[in-house]
Amino acid sequence: MKELLQDLGINIGMSVAGLFGSVLMVGKDAAMDLRKSVTSIFAGVASANYLTPVASDMFAVTKVNYQFSIAFLLGFLGLKGVELLLTKVLKDKVVPKTTVTPHKIPTKKSVKKPKR
């Protein structure tokens, strides 16, 4: 079973650390419904599992205990941690913000009827 999880890229230790972090974050927000809670926990575990090696390499963290701490923090931060990590990686690249302009909805006065 452990080999299958490792083949899928799942590190049990990192996932458990991320699980504890994400459960702590979900417990902090009492207004969250069940669906959002489960999604938040899953996102925390996934980000901790898959992004801890990236963050460890970025910050040159080699000690395993420190890597588990990073996994806990990424689990706690969840998707916000992903955003923070991406801004660190993509700090030189400027992504323009797009604005949505509302379309004008035609009214009866603005619609011309064809002449017969």
Residue 52 lies inside a defined structural domain of this protein: yes
Residue 105's pLDDT band, with cuts at 50, 70 and 90, is low
| Sequence-ordered strand ranges (E) for 7-109 | none
Q: Sign of the CA dihedral 76, 80, 83, 84?
A: negative
Residue 101 lies inside a defined structural domain of this protein: no
How many separate domains does the chain show? 1
Cβ distance 41 to 26 under 8 Å? Answer: yes
Residue 24's pLDDT band, with cuts at 50, 70 and 90, is confident
Residue 113 lies inside a defined structural domain of this protein: no
Residue 94 lies inside a defined structural domain of this protein: no
Cβ distance 39 to 95 under 8 Å? Answer: no
* Segment 61-96, tens digit of pLDDT: 999 999 999 999 888 887 776 777 677 777 755 555
Mean pLDDT, the chain, whole residue set: 79
Residue 115 lies inside a defined structural domain of this protein: no
For residue 77, give its domain range: 2-89
Q: How far is CA 90 from the centre of its chain?
A: 16
Q: How far is CA 110 from the centre of its chain?
A: 45
Residue 63 lies inside a defined structural domain of this protein: yes
Residue 9 lies inside a defined structural domain of this protein: yes
Residue 109 lies inside a defined structural domain of this protein: no
